[in-house]
Amino acid sequence: NRPGQNGLRKGKFETEEVMAWTNKTLYFKNTPVRDVVEELENWYGVNIAFANNPPANLKITGKYYDQTL
């Protein structure tokens, strides 16, 4: 960091994606499956295990409002 900077950057972002959690919404946009699993485990307080490993390059896109397991 240069003097006077605090390491923060100002830039564009998708408000819906960033604020989704405040509306009980899980929002994934081309998200690696491993990241989705981690998010679901944290969101629901569970551990998720696969019977077969998904492809490493598998990506998930979707918006899920107030879903239960």
Beta strand ranges found along the chain (DSSP E):
25-32, 59-65
H/E element holding 44? helix 33-44
What is the predicted pLDDT for the residue at 19? 67
- On average, the pLDDT of the chain sits at 84
What is the predicted pLDDT for the residue at 15? 67
What is the predicted pLDDT for the residue at 31? 94
Mean pLDDT of all residues in 29-54? 94
Task: Provide the whole-model pTM.
Answer: 0.70
pLDDT digits (tens, 9 = 90+) for 15-30: 677 667 777 889 999 9
Q: Which residues contact 41 (CB under 8 A, 6 or more apart)?
A: 47, 48
